[in-house]
Structure 1
Amino acid sequence: MFISFPNRLTLIITVTILIPTIFINLATFFFIKQEMQSDAASWLQGMTVTTGETMDSYTKLMDGITINPAYDYTLMNILETHRDNKIGLLGYTFDEIAQINGLLSMIWATNRKSLLTVELFDNNQNRFRLGEDILNSNMDWMNKARLAQGGSVLEPPVKIKDGQTVFSISRQLYKPHTFHAVGMIRVVFILDFLAATSHEVQQRDGNLLLVGENGSVLYDTRQKCNNKKLTDCIGKDQFNSSYKSDVSGWTLVGAMPVNQLFLKVNRIQKIILLVNTFFFVGALLVIVWLSFQMSRPLMQLSRKMQIASKNQFQIEVAETNRKDEIAIITTSFRNMIKHIQDLIAEVTVTEQRRKRSEISALQAQINPHFLYNTLSTIVMQAEIDGNYRISSMASQLGKLLRYAIGQEKEWVDVRRECEHIRLYVQVMRYRYPRVTLELLVDERVEDWSMIKLLMQPIVENAILHGIVPDGQEGMIRIRISAKEDLMKETLHIVIEDSGIGMNEDQLITLKKAISGLQSNETTTIKGMGVLNVYERIRLAYGDGPIRFDVESQVERGTRYIIELPRVHIDERHDRG
């Protein structure tokens, strides 16, 4: 296999310098990632354990708060007295209510930062409360507290209206001397440190989850995994740590995506590799440039020889000021190319004349008058035979042909174009009888000029690709009016159908083709007619301000909006 000298030099430098350097960089960053992952795992484990132990301490503290009222004899006597109170808070004296509220105030004052609500209920569910009125919609906690028979009940965390996550502990109160159940107490509290830890974890795109004994998620800082299994919330692309609470029986799990850990490392790695690549590419370019400076004349001549036949020898060979053997070869090749080009030009002219003669002969054979006369004969014969439907179809087809390929000029009046489009839809209705046309034309524009056959391709596209595939009846609505914009009059044309429309990808493809961002070769048959109309408008109106827009939605049809500058009679002849 032949490899040129510049390419050989580039290959040697790449194999001996660039590839080893890239390998060393990749190996270095691999070991760095391993160390960072180990450090991050240790940090996450420490954070999870610390947070879990702090949560247990708070839980024990709140649990102690709920048991203290049982040893307040004054409170127990008040609740014992009202065990059979059926008239609500009105049955309590002012002093009794003051005693109860005083106890609640003492509890509130000692834990004001964490407590949101302290609630005390007697046996008849008469409530005494200090703090915010929350978590009253679900009273299942009372049944759980009764079943615990004096033990505390820790409820899973929930979110309240202001977005805070709150916990609650409740307990059935028993009077020590009589062992009568005299009421219930519940405290609702927040864990500020848990919110701070959650914020720190979320900053690294991580998650903090509280998992119940059955394996379902009770609390999720991202609110995406509540009541789901833990295995459904932590993927293989995350590393995690956990802490099992002996107080609540819950498990605190911290999770963090591996890719977030290496964001900075990957960014640094990319920068270093980019810098290395920049310098190596620069060195390679200098070496390649020096090599090509020495061998460029022969390479250019070789390249010219290779592409000469592919381009039908339509290339240019520059003159050279050299005095060596390369100059002799270059001059000889240049003279040869010039001679071949002269021969090709002569053959091309001869071939063009021959083709023009053949086309003229064909045009003489297939004369439009011959088509008109033939259609007239069909019309007459159909009327003689009583086939008036065929006679009408042939007559209308003759008018369409006379308008499309007859001797009329490129520019026609709006009135004439509208007559043609009515006739065209009437002919199409023979095949598609469920198609209807609504044509609304402002009288002011009927004498204005426009290019011939502007609307027919769009209407045809609407029938064949919009209405017919749907299999339902459809309407084509055309509105033509005058529009004044910046003291200039424009012809405003809107063509819309009730067909199947286009999806977003089809609409984007069509608009790219119209704007020239996509090659016409990739345009579908459905869009070729529209694209041809736009090209004719652009060529006919030149640099004049035009608008050609398409709007479409699936099952809602398609709308074409065309705005053209008004063309006067003298301008029309100049353009035609």
Structure 2
Amino acid sequence: MGFEARRWLLGIRAYTFKLSLQVKLILSFVIVIFIPVVLFSWYTLNEESAKAMKELTKNSENALAVEKTNIENNMELMGWTGQLALSNREMNNFLQIQQRQDTARVLHIKNDVVNSFQYFLFNNPRIANVRLFTDNPYVNEIWPVILKESRIQDKPWHDEVMKQSGMSWWEIQENAVLTGAPSEPSPNEPVMTYLREFKYADNSTHNGILEISMRLSDFFSRTFSSVQDTNSQLIVVARSGLVFSLKASPVFEQHSSEQLINSVKLTSNIGYETLQFKVNEQSYLAIQSYIPSIDVHLVNMVSLTETMKGIHHWRIRYIVLISLLAAFLVLLSYSLQAIILSRLKTLRESMKQVRSGNFDVELPLITGTDEVGELGLHYRKLILKINELIQEQAARQAAGKEAELRALKNQIDSHFLFNTLENVKMLAEIEGQYLISDIMTSLGGMMRYSMEWKRDHVMLRDEIQQVLHYVSVMNIRYDGRLDLRLSVEPECLKQESLKMSLQPIVENAIKHGMSRMHSSDGNLVITISAVRRVEDCVIEISDNGCGIPEAKLVLLNRMLRMEESAYQDARQLFVRKKNHDSNGIGMRNVDQRLVMSYGTEYGIQIESQEGSYTRIIMTLPYRVMGGGLDNYD
């Protein structure tokens, strides 16, 4: 949780503490009922909104489906018309002539063949034009059916039609009027054209291009129909990016169809894709579908103004109802709790007097067996108990003074002991007893290090110095048979370590190593090494003692991290074997201190080979101490 969020929560908590109990109860009573009502209202409103949007989307998809069906029918009609045009034998013979025709022959083609051709093909009023553009130099133009192909060679779609090798090509043309052509459609009316290359009888040589046109308002009949939902409008987007739709639609009152399409990412999905967006704070819903056969995107643009107004109206109604409900709950809660809290107010006044120091206040008689009555009973007993405790406190203060005097005496005894050791050291030096002087120095250093416990963490070199003092003192007992060897990397001398973590391990090595040496004159070599390994510092304390049997070694390592109850059970194994000195309590204490300070991934591990050696491996996070502060590397 961030600092700002925590601060905000603490501020709310502090504010609620200042409120009276009655206000808190009213708030809790209102919240317990008010929150579920708000959540239910919010859920219901969202469900209604989702239902309205789902129904709106379904209606839009139905409109798209109807328009796609109309498009398929019109494509089939134009394709069928194209098949009829290319299958007319007399027309094909005329288009494939290889010599000039006389005037009589041309008039026959115009009056008989072309007129009957037009009548047969134009019997459907939705077909706007059927044209045959030919590059045959022997064919004369007969308007408006037979024309020279040179008239359309500059059209952008001409090369695309040639690439189709006789397959159909669909193109939306904004201006399909040819100069000088009679009875052409209006220049401002776009058309959908069906284009197809036709060839000579050998089916390999280009002869011309067939063009069948249908007004866009007929091809996309529902898109350009004025009888439809005023809140939605179909839009056609051609492959060129041109947008065609019914400009007078109410949907485009605020924004044009081009502006709205610019907010929609068109895809090549032949299914239905829905997108809700805003343009200048006005919400719209776009449902699109791609028609790959004519390379056109069909988009149903829905204005959500009326829908949002309905949702907003429902929100206002819910807010008013919830506000009235909250006001009613507050009044009801206040009336009920004023009756319940009257006895608490009496109890509060009595407590104010006790707080001012008047313990002889007349205690109120709070009757009843409910929680308030029980509170009054305990309050009376509390006052009586306080008077008893006041008397006991006087006796405790006297005992505390006595304890302070004893602590001061112990402190004086410690200083006396240090001073005595210093005096013995000086006396030994005067008498030339330098061995005794060195022992006193080591012993004094040990005592001062162990008794001056200002903090739990020290440098590793301080711990090693304590071990040196300890081994010096113990060598008096073992006639100098203890050999302490150090191999510490310089960067580890300032390593942070727990105070008194090395001496128990060295003490354990001396106790068990020397007691089981193979010969009385053998030396016990104890080696302390410290190296840095990436982010860790590894300290090893090894000895050349008798080692530990394998079964016992496994148990000792397990006992380091056992739960307390399991550890006590394991210790009983050593008790039954009368081996009290080998129960691993010192090692366990050191390991637990390391785990508490650094975490479970750090601590100690015991390695040993019976009759050869014992090694304690201590792993610490690499941390450098300096200048009295901890600096982390």
Instruction: Check whether TM > 0.5.
Output: no
Larger radius of gyration: 2
Q: TM-score, normalised to structure 1's length?
A: 0.38
Relative to the length of structure 2, the TM-score reads: 0.35
